[in-house]
Amino acid sequence: MNTDSLTEKRVALVLLARPDVVELENQVLFTWLAPQGVTRRHYFDFRATMTDGSRTAIMVKYDAKLRQDGFQAEIAEIAEHVTPDFADRVTLMTEKHLDPVDVFNATLFNSVRHPDEDADAIMREAVRGLSGAARISDLIDRTGLKGRGFRSIARLIAARELQLRDRDRVAYESFVLRRAA
């Protein structure tokens, strides 16, 4: 996925990590007929398809851009022309909409997205009988997997087989639980 800024990249990673996003397209062309018969074009940074089938067209801008003359009128004009065949809603995201915990975890999940089948099988076995919360470092120590174990746990969280007990960054001192079925 090509992104034009660090903020776009972070938005993409956070959206891809969300359980309610099933597809993410980027640089999606939207055209409409403006007054005087002029065809207008806008590329939405992303269009997310949600688990319920709805689609959201997403513009990503720096917060400072919102204060530029005419910018809010421009995005309002674009949004008012979006029809349900393109998207069910339009949203604007800036760097201020990004939670640092979400960005950290989404970046981690992306970096460990390729399976390590042996380590993942060992870690799945280690958490199979887990009752309550366990510290990530304890699970890693129990399996002897070291860094491979940490990456495996991150993959299991991303795959929603495990969940963090608390809202925090995935770290060795974090606690995880088996996700309720």
| % residues pLDDT > 90 (the chain) | 87
Q: What's the pLDDT score for residue 34?
A: 85
Q: What tokens were used for 145?
A: 């997997």
Predicted confidence (pLDDT) per residue in 19-61, tens digit:
999 999 999 999 999 888 899 999 999 999 999 999 999 999 9
> Higher confidence at residue 66 or residue 150?
150
Burial code of 55-72, b = ≥16 C-beta within 10 A, e = fewer? bbbbbbbeeeeeeeeeee
* 69 pLDDT above the threshold of 90: no
pTM of the model: 0.89
| % residues pLDDT > 70 (the chain) | 99
Predicted confidence (pLDDT) per residue in 145-154, tens digit:
999 999 999 9
